[in-house]
Amino acid sequence: MKNIGKIVATEKMPTTVDEFYFWTDKVRIIKPFDVVKVDHIPPSGSNKNSITFGVVEEISHFTDSPSFLAGYISSDFGDVDHKPNTERIGMNYVKAKVVGNTEGIFTPVLDGHLVSLAGEEDVKKALGLDEIKNKLPCGYIDMYEPPDNIRIPVHFNSHFLIGPEGAHLNISGISGLAAKTSYAMFLLKAIQCQFLQNKKENESVAFVILNVKGKDLVAIDEPNKDLENRDKDIYEMLGLEPKPFTNVKYFYPYNKDFPTTYALKDDVKSQMKQGKAFQFKYIFEEDKDSIDLLFSNVDDPTQTMESIVNYISTGQGKFDGLTNWNELLTEIYEHTKKGDTGKDKEITISSWGKFYRLFRKTLDKSAIFASRLGDGEVRLQEQIKNIQKNDIYVIDVAKLDEETQGFVFGDVMRAVYDLKLGQIERKESEIPSKIIIFIDELNKYASKEVPKSSPILRQILDITERGCSLGIILFGAEQFRSDIHDRVKGNCSSYAYGRTNAIEVSKGDYQYVPPVYKFNLKNILGVSLSGRAFRYNLFVQPTMPIQQKGFSLQSLTQNSIPFAA
């Protein structure tokens, strides 16, 4: 690749083992995240120079003008149309972060050494892309301006995304503009493609996706008719087939006339006719012990809600022998009148009243609490416990109220956990070795403001802390990363950042991010990263009509990419 400048080391701005500066022509178009290489000193006993690689961070322009006033005076005292006889001497100087050296030499690069654009193989070597094991496509790099532009496929080490070395992905970005769901679907599609091609009997995957917004994810097995040839070329470059998801089943909340969903009626009917869509219910005899999930976001400092749940689930008082949800509601109402008699004497009338109001509101709003199953109707727990390899379950909760959404989500998490803990009578070889759960709006269930007693929060914490060893992988997305519980995001080995705002990037979660990257977080369509160290430009175009553009980060320990911290 062509030479673009030379190293400059000054008294006040020396080169270091971490960074260096170089001058370049003022009309040279170069961008942050571009990779450059510098001829460096040879190793001992060799006549061949080593090469140091750097990633561009900041670009500045200056001239020989001593002050702003001098610039004003040289324009005939403020005449904007004045054309000077000679242009001022000016240049650009660039700050670059050291990311590696071909011979492991990390002494500072020397003044006057040539700087050039890195070629395709150089970029791969600089970013460690030539050493990635267990490759999983995650996008590609578009670098430099024509005619020097290059395009390089980028891969994650899948063992650090979905185990066994690490697990869990957290995606953050403002609502509607950050392409969070888009990028998650791209990665899930890449994972399914990889495992469909994988013939190893001990490695398999299944997916559980919760649709929480509109009809975003209730047609992921439909082909994208707008996919252009250039997009198909990208898929070919990444080794992926430009096809939609396969083995998809949809589960919609039951309602008497039509499922509670934003999906089009004709589409849902077509899916049901093809045997790939069902309505789900919660049956009293099977699901009464899960009512604690309805109160997961209720502030309960004295644990009275938890006491009532335990009182009901253990069949104390007259709660033993009930046969349906309405009978349960009636018996709860009776306790709002009885007060502190019998074994529930420590539970006050007001606590029973609060429990009754919350429980009644849920039953009134949703028809999913029923007494029996009909044709085309299922229980989610039973379906998840029988999930097969490469299956994708899309559970639509978008039109349910927040409390019922939390109930369904918690029930799904428990079912997956029970399956992987071996509490279900199935042969181990028949159970998918990995089950990936994708949930948007994670802040509803795992934010710092969720009560510590929340059973859903406890379940999420357990999965992020132990899920890797069990083969349960959480892909979560939220608007603001700073709001998520520290133990949840702290146990994720990979992260993705979409476009966000200035207030968010000022939070402690972004304290390690250099200013130039914070600027890009506020102005780009999307940013993907894993770990702590910024790495490379990334442009992603999934099968569905969605796209993401930004940069990716990888850490030395998590994806084997050399980096001088």
Residue 509 has pLDDT above 60, yes or no: yes
Residue 261: closest CA among 384, 144, 166, 397: 397
Provide mean pLDDT across the span 251-265: 92
Cα distances from 265 to residues 113, 220, 251, 259, 272, in angstroms, run 67, 16, 14, 9, 11
Residue 40: the pLDDT is: 92
pLDDT digits (tens, 9 = 90+) for 95-140: 999 998 999 888 999 999 999 999 999 999 888 888 888 889 888 8
> 81: pLDDT confidence band, cut at 50, 70 and 90?
confident
Give exposure, 474-499, as e/b (b: 16+ Cβ within 10 Å): bbbbbbbbbbbbeebbebbbbbbbbb
Least confident piece of the model among 110-124, 153-167, 546-560 = 546-560
Instruction: State how far the Cα of 12 lies from the Cα of 255, in Å rounded to an integer.
Output: 71
Provide mean pLDDT across the span 13-37: 91
Burial class of residue 559 in the structure, from the number of CB atoms within 10 Å of its CB (0-12 exposed, 13-18 middle, 19+ buried) = buried
Residue 554: the pLDDT is: 29
pTM, to two decimals:
0.84
Residue 189 has pLDDT above 70, yes or no: yes
Instruction: State how far the Cα of 464 lies from the Cα of 486, in Å rounded to an integer.
Output: 11
Residue 551: the pLDDT is: 31
Provide mean pLDDT across the span 219-229: 85
Instruction: State how far the Cα of 75 lies from the Cα of 287, in Å rounded to an integer.
Output: 80
Tell me, what amino acid is at 437?
I
Residue 428: the pLDDT is: 83
Residue 388: the pLDDT is: 92
Cα distances from 365 to residues 215, 369, 524, in angstroms, run 20, 10, 40
Instruction: State how far the Cα of 245 lies from the Cα of 242, in Å rounded to an integer.
Output: 10
Provide mean pLDDT across the span 199-206: 79
Instruction: State how far the Cα of 123 lies from the Cα of 198, in Å rounded to an integer.
Output: 29
Residue 207: the pLDDT is: 96
Instruction: State how far the Cα of 277 lies from the Cα of 273, in Å rounded to an integer.
Output: 8
> 254: pLDDT confidence band, cut at 50, 70 and 90?
very high
Provide mean pLDDT across the span 341-369: 80
Instruction: State how far the Cα of 547 lies from the Cα of 477, in Å rounded to an integer.
Output: 16
Strand order in the sheet with 205-211: 377-378, 277-280, 248-253, 392-396, 205-211, 434-439, 472-478, 169-172, 494-498, 526-529
Task: Tell me the average pLDDT of the chain.
Answer: 83
Residues composing the chain: 565
> 523: pLDDT confidence band, cut at 50, 70 and 90?
low
Residue 177: the pLDDT is: 62
> 201: pLDDT confidence band, cut at 50, 70 and 90?
low
Instruction: State how far the Cα of 410 lies from the Cα of 9, in Å rounded to an integer.
Output: 58
Check: CB of residue 137 under 8 Å from CB of residue 442.
no
Burial class of residue 451 in the structure, from the number of CB atoms within 10 Å of its CB (0-12 exposed, 13-18 middle, 19+ buried) = middle
> 540: pLDDT confidence band, cut at 50, 70 and 90?
very low
> 549: pLDDT confidence band, cut at 50, 70 and 90?
very low
Retrieve residue 79's tokens. Answer: 């005449």
Residue 220: CB partners within 8 Å, gap ≥ 6?
Answer: 185, 209, 244, 245, 248, 392, 394, 544
**Domains of the chain (ranges, CATH numbers):** 3-118 (no CATH), 154-281+373-559 (3.40.50.300), 284-365 (no CATH)
> 547: pLDDT confidence band, cut at 50, 70 and 90?
very low
Provide mean pLDDT across the span 31-52: 88
Residue 240: the pLDDT is: 87
